[in-house]
Amino acid sequence: MNRKLLSVGALVVVSSVIAAFYLMPGSSPEVKRERYLKGGREYIAQNKINEAVIMFKNAVKVDPAYADSHHELGLALLRKADYRRAFGEFRRAADLNPEMVQTRYYLGNLYTLSQDFPHAKEQLDKIRG
């Protein structure tokens, strides 16, 4: 019972922090995005992956055209072993910024895991330039 209560309490705290970040008056989308990204990175450092995913999702919502937000969300989803959603985020990041070598590396690995070797080779070729 205490575990459930702690989980609910943690969810309330995370939701409050996210709301505080999002509702800050006078903040530009870029400032909000960077706050969410910073918060997500801090959660990753604390190994709080679920909370990090929430922060990175909010960064994507604030600025969906920013490739780094999609990349960071993809990394967090990988840590949760949510490969399908991680793949989608890496694809989006690569579409937004084709020069992201690390994103292409992760895409290539995910293609290899799914035994889609032609697409994995395509990612490798794009990394090589």
CB-CB contact of 71 with 103 (8 Å): yes
Residue-wise pLDDT for 61-72, tens only, equals: 999 999 999 999
Query: Which CATH number characterizes residue 11's domain?
Result: 1.25.40.10
Q: Is the pLDDT of residue 3 over 70?
A: no
CA 119 centroid distance within chain: 22
Backbone angles phi, psi at 8, to 5 degrees: -65, -40
Domain that holds residue 34: 2-128
Cα 13-83-66 angle, rounded to 5 deg: 65
Total count of domains within the chain: 1
Q: Taking the CB of residue 40, how many other CB atoms lie within 10 A of it?
A: 26
Helix or strand (DSSP H, E) at 64: none
Whole-prediction pTM value? 0.79
Using 50, 70 and 90 to split pLDDT, how confident is the model at 27? confident
> Would you state the pLDDT for residue 104?
96
Q: Is the pLDDT of residue 5 over 80?
A: no
User: How many residues are present in the chain?
Assistant: 129
